[in-house]
């Protein structure tokens, strides 16, 4: 049996390759992919060739282990249907709709412990948002927002919008967002934030400070732009914290740490979803966090932010769109079996 898999082959180039599937093992299941979500952050760094060569793709996800190098099959938001099971697998798995952290491919073979059954109340497209929602949950756990805080979120891509949606459930005094694209600022405003500002505007810091009064107690940097850290530091109040959820790849910037940063005791917090924060690991594990993420998907219904759907044969068009006209996009899906 053959499958179709999308490969990054060089900067700016993707190919849909047909390849043979290995034989189904006794303890494995065969999945036919229905849809798979493109990560406009990590995947665009790969598409643009801006990834570090000495970093493992993801040590926590078995299907993504290994280094970043071309050709590379990547992706981590696949939803599909179990179409066959190995001899030792319970037949109840057959025909189940599942989520799995898998590259963009039409079929894959894995073991049941790598599958997440999709709750009946969620559509397949909604389930594609599970990794991003888990990331948003992790960001809030690392930040620990408090009653009455003044909070700002840089970046209203999918991670930013989901984080903002969760923050709207907290009794904050002020919640302000920033994004350079009007489409995403409108989506943010629809969530009920105090304001959403263009960070490229000349008086951006003054606008943000006006809404945040004495400054932000808490800022999330989720824009993917390391230069946003300078704005975040300038807007953060004394002893405030900046949670950095962006992965910058090989992007570099010069930070101004000689001004307010040092004396203001501002804390920079690195947040990454592959692990649980050490201070929470005695009470939290990945399974508990996934339960929270599934329930959050039911409440927030992020499928409303899907702007484009492509077949795998149109993968080059999808990535070119994200690269050249990101202002037109929010979430882009690949439909393998619409």
Span 118-125, average pLDDT: 96
**What is the pLDDT, as a whole number, of residue 199?**
96
Query: Rounded CA gap, 128 and 4, in Å?
Result: 19
Going from the C-alpha of 300 to that of each of 49, 152, 331, the distances in angstroms are 33, 20, 15
Residue 54 has pLDDT above 80, yes or no: no
Token pair of 15 as six digits:
């190919």
Mean pLDDT, the chain, integer: 93
pLDDT score of 188 more than 80: yes
Instruction: Please give the Cα distance from 139 to 142 (Å, whole number).
Output: 5
- pLDDT surpasses 90 at 64: no
Delineate the domains of the chain, giving CATH numbers in brackets.
Answer: 2-118+301-335 (3.90.180.10), 133-270 (3.40.50.720)
Q: What DSSP assignment string belongs to 204-257?
A: HHHHHHHHHTT-EEEEEE-SS-TTHHHHHHHHEEEEEEEEE----TT-------
pLDDT tens figures, 248-291? 777 777 788 877 788 899 999 999 999 999 999 999 999 999 99
b/e map of 120-135 (b: 16 or more CB within 10 Å)? Answer: eebebbbbbbbbbbbb
Residue 57 is predicted with a pLDDT of 46
pLDDT of residue 68: 77
* Residues 94-110 pLDDT 10s: 999 999 999 999 999 99
Model confidence pLDDT, tens digit, residues 126-145 = 999 999 999 999 999 999 99
Reference 14, options 323, 327, 306; nearest CA is 323
* C-alpha dihedral sign at 38, 274, 17, 52: positive
Looking at the DSSP assignment, which residues form a beta bridge with residue 72? 8
The whole-number pLDDT of residue 256 equals: 81
pLDDT band for position 214 (50/70/90)? confident
Q: Note the pTM of the prediction, 2 decimals.
A: 0.93
- % pLDDT > 90, the chain: 85
């Amino acid at each position: 049996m053959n499958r179709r898999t999308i490969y990054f082959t060089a900067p700016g180039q993707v190919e849909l390759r047909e390849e043979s599937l290995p034989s189904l093992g006794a303890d494995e299941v065969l999945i036919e992919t229905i849809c798979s979500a493109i990560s406009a952050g990590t995947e665009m760094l790969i598409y643009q060739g801006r990834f570090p060569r000495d970093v493992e793709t993801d040590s926590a996800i078995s299907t993504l282990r290994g280094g970043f190098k071309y050709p590379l099959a990547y992706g981590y938001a696949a939803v599909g249907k179990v179409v066959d099971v190995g001899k030792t697998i319970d037949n109840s798995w057959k025909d189940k709709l599942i989520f799995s952290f898998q590259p963009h491919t039409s079929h894959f073979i894995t073991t049941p412990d790598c599958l997440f059954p999709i709750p009946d109340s969620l559509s397949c497209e909604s389930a594609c948002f599970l990794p991003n929602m888990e990331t948003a949950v992790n960001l809030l756990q690392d930040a620990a927002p408090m009653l009455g805080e003044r909070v700002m979120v840089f970046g209203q891509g999918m991670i930013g919008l989901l984080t903002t949606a969760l923050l709207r459930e907290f009794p904050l005094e002020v919640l302000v967002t920033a994004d350079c694209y009007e489409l995403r600022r409108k989506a943010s405003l629809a969530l009920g934030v105090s304001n959403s500002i263009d960070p490229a505007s000349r008086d951006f810091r003054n606008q943000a400070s006006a809404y945040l009064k004495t400054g932000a107690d808490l800022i999330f940097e989720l824009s993917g732009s390391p230069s946003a850290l300078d704005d975040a530091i300038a807007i953060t109040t004394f002893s405030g914290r900046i949670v950095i959820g962006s992965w910058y790849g090989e992007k570099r910037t010069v930070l101004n740490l000689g001004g307010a940063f040092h004396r203001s005791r501002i804390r920079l917090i690195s947040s990454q979803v592959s692990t649980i924060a050490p201070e929470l690991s005695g009470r939290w594990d990945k399974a508990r966090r996934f339960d929270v993420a599934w329930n959050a998907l039911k409440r927030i219904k992020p499928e409303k932010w899907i702007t484009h759907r492509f077949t795998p044969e149109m993968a080059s068009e999808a990535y070119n769109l994200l690269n050249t006209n990101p202002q037109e996009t929010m979430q882009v899906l690949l439909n393998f079996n619409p």
